[in-house]
Amino acid sequence: MAHTHTAGTGVSEPSARTGNRWLLVAGALLLQLAIGGVYAWSVIGGALGEADSWQLGKVQAALPFTVSVGMIFIGSFLGGRIQDDHGPRLVALAGGTIYAGGILLASLANGSDDYWLLIVGYGVVSGFGLGFAYIVPIAMLQKWFPDKKGLITGLAVGGFGFGAVITAPVAQWLIDRDPQDPTSAFLPLGLAYLVMALAGASVFRNPPEGYTVPGHEPPAATATGDGSGDYSTSEALRTPQWYLLTAILTLSVSAGISLISQAKASATDIAGFSVTGAAAVVGVLAIFNGAGRIVWAGISDRIGRMRTFAAILVLQGVCLIALPHAGSALLFTVLAAIIYLCYGGAFGTMPATAGDYFGLRDAGAIYGLMLIGWSLGGILGPVVASALIGEDKAYTVAYTTIGVIALASVALTFVTKVPAGRRAGDAGHA
């Protein structure tokens, strides 16, 4: 018998429904593949700098992407709160639709006179929709997989990192069809994103009340505001740990995204890749962004969350400092791949860390607020990188500065401890 039923209710017992939880992972990956296309921006931004009708400088070309990442926090905070109250499906469907709508709006931009439309469509609208949808599978799947929190949140956001693997070469192919009109690529991309997001989100749902995983022993509840062991959003915000974790996320994002925002130009200027070769490298590197979310999240289940973040920041710092001195295409690709791997790792590890520190009841709102670190880092990294690189292509100054900041940030991992109210159950993850 596939299901057992509670007498008189016709409702399946929670433990009998675990067989369907991997379908939700597949839906989450499909949604995240769609919204993860944002990381292929360097392909489009590079084309905007070369097209006669646009001819954007580095700072101008990076700004739509920067605005998009900056809007993520607003979307994720609202999406997380609404999801906690009304469930994941509606929020994910709405977020995917808004995101795709912003991309389609950006397709109407036709030359530098329409630059504002690129900012509004790709930046404001799609960034908000991205954040609105992004938070949903993270919070939802932690509830379905309390036995695999690190791994499953890595998978939940892994698709986001892999989105550019598909989008980068497709976007380059679309642009090559009409190099003087790069924004024409947004129309087919936006339609594809819409179909993928709606298909993935359509299967989302929260587990039934009282859901348990056979063989998994949940942490003992400890004394928080309601005695459940889970922090409310306001309680989490009154702890220093929330701010420390947000700072770690901000600094890790700043380091990795400084390269991501300049990946295509860095590949051509530092390592001598052709324009087409650089676009291909961006796609290959995106594999490591996606893989890092899964690999580092799984590692964090074994060695602890803070040790994982320390390793991520050290590797990012060292590789950024070495990157401008990469004399060969192979060395450049290896160093960049490690940076992408670590960048993705922060996003794969932080949701489980927040769950360990504050519980899962209000996970959507608590982690949604924490994603202000993504927005702050997403603004700081590209702005600092593009400003320091400038028209003189001063990659050594830019990446060395950002790499040193990443290395100094390791100190935060030594002072960030699980709140006293949660240590009985989750001390092993400190």
Give the pLDDT of residue 16. 38
142-170 pLDDT per residue, tens? 888 877 777 787 777 778 878 877 888 89
Burial of 242 (0-12, 13-18, 19+ CB in 10 A): buried
Query: What's the chain's length in residues?
Result: 430
**Whole-number pLDDT of residue 14:** 40
Domains, the chain, in order of start with CATH, read 23-205+229-424 (1.20.1250.20)
Structure tokens at 347: 């996003």
Q: Measuring CA to CA, how many Å separate 245 from each of 41, 127, 159, 403, 412?
A: 27, 23, 23, 19, 9
Q: How far is residue 267 CA from its own chain's centroid?
A: 23
Q: How far is CA 282 from CA 55, 238, 354, 417, in A?
A: 21, 40, 30, 36
Helix residue ranges per DSSP H, 323-371:
329-358, 363-370
Cβ atoms of 429 and 305 within 8 Å: the answer is: yes
| Integer Cα distance of 273 and 271 in angstroms | 6
What is the structure's pLDDT at 1?
A: 34
Instruction: List Cα–Cα distances, 362 to 124, 232, 348, in angstroms.
Output: 26, 6, 19
* Token pair listed for 43: 């392909």
In the predicted model, residues of the chain with pLDDT beneath 70 are 1-19, 214-228, 421-430
Q: Three-class SS of residue 387?
A: helix
CA distance 5 to 198: 31
One-letter identity of residue 373: G
What's the predicted TM-score (pTM) here?
0.74
State whether the Cα torsion 151-261-376-416 is positive or negative.
Answer: positive
Predicted confidence at residue 215, as pLDDT, reads 63
Contact 45, 385 (CB under 8 A): no
Distance of alpha carbon 87 from alpha carbon 80, whole angstroms? 10
